[in-house]
Amino acid sequence: MPHYLHITKKVVYIILFSVVFFACGNKCLAADRNIVAIIKNKDLSYYNEMIDGFKAAVAARKIAITCNEFVMGDGDINEKIKAAAPRMIYALGSTTLKKIEQTVNNVAVVYSAAFAEGDDVLHGDNVTGANFYVSVTDQCEKLKQIIPGIKTVGVIYNPDANEKTIAMAGRKLSASGITLALFPARTPADIPHLENMSVDALWLFPDPVVAQQTIVTRILYTALIKKIPVIGISPSYVKAGAFMALTCDYRDVGKQAGEAAARILQGEKASEIAVTTPRQFKLYLNRSVADKLQVSIPHYLISEASEVYGE
């Protein structure tokens, strides 16, 4: 074999080795540079679903990241963030987001948090994210698919804490032909008896005055006796006796946040990436409650539901 062919082979091997080495090296370096601090205020199952979705969305875009997870309250979170030296923070929940937004100003922040009607959605120079709040309009429109005659929906709330949100919710429902009947209650003692409510359904808004186990249990029990369908906050409410609940798909919300994160890591500005709202939902129904209310749930909604309790 001619001598120059040996030299050519060596050159080819060296080039191939160099390409593989630097490709792997660049990938590793990219992961080192793309450190993401994932911060939550509690270790909740739906937060973990969002984290899984976040990681999957970033990976789908062939971006290598190194994730460090922290729980608020486990030591000095600011010191931990400083030590991690992240390029980005993924904040879960409004409590975490507010804390991070107040203390961090030189790191891009992507979040998954709930902003209700009337809330000031956080979006700025280095902040964007995925809002996982499911609007009352979406919830009531789903209820109308089951009970078309729904005209008036009641809500119990603390006006000192949620006046703006409830007013905005009322305007949105009015546009869809539903009246939101307001029942203000600053303390549990102020909560009116359901017997005195002239409503077609009751929307359990996540208000601290109402969201106490003993009060929820009492409301669900009385509503069933009065044959008032209740829209719950979560699957646990439906399991406990609410007629239905419509939630977001938490994993998909995490994906939405991950898609925004990927765009930032690729050079876009957070301020140019719109805050998203849920694009996929999960429906929960209670057939036993439906039977007691003498309501027939369409078969297509039974099939659509993520879970049907009371079967």
The number of angstroms, rounded, from the C-alpha of 278 to the middle of its chain's C-alpha atoms is 7
Mean pLDDT of 109-138: 94
- pLDDT band with cut points at 50, 70 and 90 for residue 5: very low
Q: Where are the domains of the chain?
A: 13-132+250-280, 136-247+282-309
Higher pLDDT, residue 161 or 38: 38
CATH class of 136-247+282-309: alpha beta
Chain-wide mean pLDDT for the chain? 90
- Using CA atoms, how far residue 73 sits from 41, 43, 77, 139, 222, in Å, is 7, 11, 7, 34, 39
Convert the pLDDT of each residue in 160-207 to its tens digit. 999 999 999 999 999 999 999 999 999 999 999 998 899 999 999 988
The pLDDT score that the predictor gives to residue 10 is: 54
pLDDT at residue 26 tops 50: no
Domains 13-132+250-280 and 136-247+282-309 share a fold: yes
CA distance 49 to 53: 6
Structural element, H or E, at residue 91: strand 88-92
In this predicted model, what pLDDT tens digit does every residue of 44-76 receive, in sequence order?
A: 999 999 999 999 999 999 999 999 999 988 778
pLDDT surpassing 70 at residue 268: yes
Q: Is 186 helix (H, G, I), strand (E, B) or coil?
A: coil
DSSP character at residue 142: H
Name the pTM for this structure: 0.84
Q: Is residue 123 pLDDT above 80, yes or no? A: yes
Residue 9: pLDDT band (50, 70, 90) is low
Q: Percent of the chain scored above 70 by pLDDT?
A: 90
What pLDDT is stored for residue 33 in this prediction? 76
Task: Flag whether pLDDT at 30 surpasses 70.
Answer: no
Q: What is the pLDDT of residues 211-263, one digit of tens each?
A: 889 999 999 999 999 999 999 999 999 999 999 999 999 999 999 999 999 99
Residue 266 is predicted with a pLDDT of 96
Would you state the pLDDT for residue 311?
Answer: 82
Q: Which candidate, 52, 46, 49, 100, places its Cα nearest to that of 72?
A: 100
Predicted pLDDT of residue 29 = 38
CATH number attached to the domain at 13-132+250-280:
3.40.50.2300
Question: Alpha-carbon distance 208 to 188, whole Å?
Answer: 10
Half-sphere exposure of 5 (CA within 13 A, CB side): 2
Choice between 77 and 292, residue whose per-residue pLDDT is larger: 292
Copy the structure tokens of residue 202: 């009751």
Q: 310 and 303 in contact (C-beta within 8 Å)?
A: no
How far, in Å, are 10, 197, 223, 244 from residue 308 at the CA level? 67, 28, 19, 9
Residue 276 DSSP one-character state: B
